[in-house]
Amino acid sequence: MNTPILTIDERHNIEAGAWFSSLSPTLRAAILARATVRRLADGAPLAARGTPAEDWVGVAKGAVRVSSVSLSGKQVSLTYVEPGTWFGDIALFDGLPRTHDASAHGATTLLVVRKGDFKELLAQHVELYDALLRLNCRRLRLMFNLIEDLNTKPLAARLAKQLLLLAKSYGIAQGEEIRIGLQLAQEDLAQLLGASRQRVNQELKELERDGVLRVEPTRLVVLSREKLMAVTDR
């Protein structure tokens, strides 16, 4: 197969990903050789809960919104998969259906490895087993941390921690400010935190009054990363 055609920025996002960049050059080349490029418009579906898993996916641009449906039928955002991150391997390992819905958030570019190619990569590169084991251990640790924060930290601290993560994944430095490039409505941010939009709005206004961030119509801008980090310890 030919190496997938990505823009320079998209290729950089993939190669600079913490997990992918830790792989050997041989394995990285083998993955890219078996991947195809898929470009999705904002809101385009990628996977549906309960459907068979057919792809292993790396995000090269944009974001993938992972969501679920509440008892009332409302779509609830659980996380956003950022550029440089690979996902979908769990369902390919255990053979069970997808556990959540996934769709593009903004114009999104993906690298897609089909199930058969994924299995062949595992058979030909033992290194991939170890690498995915480490990746899933990290996911598990993050999940435990999230559960701990939800049960022990006040909303202000959880919000500050989420904003730091968004700034790290989607931050665009502008002098001393960091503009969060991912466009999120306050309702989306509230869903990530397991809180109401009204409470999150109050906390954002408090951070704005304290000179920690600036709330713009479509973006959040971190004015002081140090002040934001201090809020996580409250």
Residues 13-59: tens digit of each pLDDT? 999 999 999 999 999 999 999 999 999 999 999 999 999 999 999 99
- Look at the pTM and tell me if it is higher than 0.85: yes
pLDDT, residue 3, reads 60
- Residue 1, pLDDT score: 45
CA-to-CA separations, 113 to 42, 57, 101, 169, in angstroms, rounded: 21, 6, 19, 23
Closest CA to 64 of 46, 89, 37, 90: 46
- The pair of structure tokens assigned to 8 is 């320079």
pLDDT value at residue 156: 95
Residues in the chain: 234
What are 23's two structure tokens? 């792989």
State the DSSP H helix or E strand holding residue 89, giving kind and residue range, or none if neither.
helix 89-94
Q: Are 53 and 121 in contact (CB under 8 A)?
A: no
Strands (E), the chain: 36-40, 45-47, 55-61, 64-69, 75-81, 86-87, 101-104, 108-114, 171-174, 177-180, 213-215, 220-222
Q: Which of 170, 166, 154 is nearest to 203 (CA)?
A: 154
Question: CA 25 to CA 22: how far, in whole Å?
Answer: 9
Tokens found for residue 72: 């009332």
Ranges of the chain whose pLDDT falls below 70? 1-3
Contacts of 179 (CB under 8 A, 6+ apart): 171, 172, 219, 220, 221, 222
